[in-house]
Structure 1
Amino acid sequence: MREEKPDLDTAYALETPDDNRALYAGWAETYDATFAQEMDFLMPGHVARLFDGHGGDGPVLDAGAGTGLVAGEILRRRACDIDAFDLSAEMLAVARSKGFYRRTIEGDLTAPLPFATGSYNAVVSSGTFTHGHVGPEALDELLRVAAPCALFVLTIKTEHYDTRGFAGKFAALSPAITGFETVQLPIYGPGATGDHKDDQGVIAVFRKA
């Protein structure tokens, strides 16, 4: 396992779950200030607005919850039960301290999920489906733990949507999902600086059939 400086370039270069754990263990306490605020991170707000606009309701699974940025934005708009699931115990500890979640569960989205079939009325995710983190193979388990008609709002880095197989995966899942749409939006706001300030993200919105 290699030790890395906590920054966006290092996050995009991650290769293994152990790499993820190592990076976020050292970044968790400062993540909100040194990344979300400094980069004017917009995706949690985008996800929450789409969730609210499509009538999302709990219980919600926040897949790759990190420090709880999406949950905070959702709860500003409507009250609902949200569970956090993340690979990093340290990030979950920060999320837990905010009081947003019904439960916080440590685990790997690329493995079988520790939830009963049909447990959630919605699944949201921001910043998790990208290179070095989680690929489209995780969608099958997320669909399994979702109830019929459950709402999904998931962000995917635009440059990875086709190259990492997300477009093909959604096409293959078409019999199992309804109302599929994508929206492309900026990941960062006008306060962002650096090489990634103009990066774009795709948000996939759909319901389980």
Structure 2
Amino acid sequence: MSKKTPDLHAAYSLKSPEENKQLYAEWAGDYDEGFAALEDYQLHHHTARAFVGAGGQGPVLDVGAGTGLCGAILAGLGVGPIDATDISAEMLDQAMRKDIYRDAIEADLNHGLPVSRASYAGVVSSGTFTHGHLGPETLPALLRVARPGAQFALSINEKHFEALGFAGAFRSLEVDQISNLSFTEVRIYGELAAGPNKDDVALIALFEKR
């Protein structure tokens, strides 16, 4: 078992896929009520609405789906079908209980996705590109499973964006792989949030695969 207490500080300090799996295995059962509700977590709302506002349609891959918070918003907005992928089997189990996903795909994005090329018309990710989690080196794996013209909406913690060089990665992809790139800054938490991360912001990257 992980020696980390499941909370935001522990999540931000993860160093490896193994640590990630251990922490989220412990956190899965309490994530929605013990974190998202108590901390007034709002990022999944912003990301899903940005995707739909940009014209995003299904089939959609929800990357780092966790317990299905973003997927639930997408489904409520009439988007579907939706598949969920996450490194944590326990988080995916919680997500599938919501009865909003077509399929669950347990995968470590650092090693790609066991999905056929050009499977999805949309790719959404909320809360996965953040401290202790995925960097820009995983973007090609997401582009591989997207169809030409597929809409992307990826939230990226602002500090993580700067620290891991996302700006340069997106500039490189704009050369011949993506188009219509834009960034929208949003607050990760709502007015009820407290603690040292209550004012954290994220950038939602909207773009299309060429």
Scaled to the shorter chain, the TM-score interval is over 0.9
- Change in CA separation of 1:123 and 1:191 when aligned onto 2, cut-off 3 Å: same
Q: Could you tell me how far apart the structure 1 residues matched to 2:203 and 2:15 are?
A: 22
Structure 1 counterpart SS, 2:185: strand
Aligned counterpart, 2:157: 157
Percent of aligned positions that are identical: 49
Q: Distance in 1 between matches of 2:107 and 2:2?
A: 21
TM-score (ref. length: structure 1): 0.98
Q: Distance in 1 between matches of 2:76 and 2:61?
A: 17
Distance across 2 between alignment mates of 1:199 and 1:189:
10
Matched with 2:61 is 61
Distance in 2 between residues matched to 1:83 and 1:57, nearest whole Å: 13
**Structure 2 length-normalised TM:** 0.97
Deviation (angstroms), 1:79:
3.7
Corresponding residue number in structure 1 for 2:95: 95
2:2 and 2:43 map into 1 onto residues whose CA distance is 28
Match of 1:178 in 2: 179
Find runs of 4+ consecutive structure 1 residues off by over 4 angstroms. Answer: none
Other-structure match for 2:39? 39
> CA deviation digits over 1:113-156, x for unaligned, max 9?
11111000000001101121111011001001100000000010
Q: How many residues align?
A: 209
Give the superposition deviation at 1:2: 4.1
Aligned match of 1:204:
205
Letter in 1 for 2:185: Q
Report if aligned partners of 1:52, 1:78 keep a CA contact under 8 Å in 2: no
| Structure 2 residue ranges without an equivalent (≥5) | none
Specify the code of the residue in structure 1 equivalent to 2:62. Answer: D
Two-structure CA RMSD over aligned residues (Å): 0.9
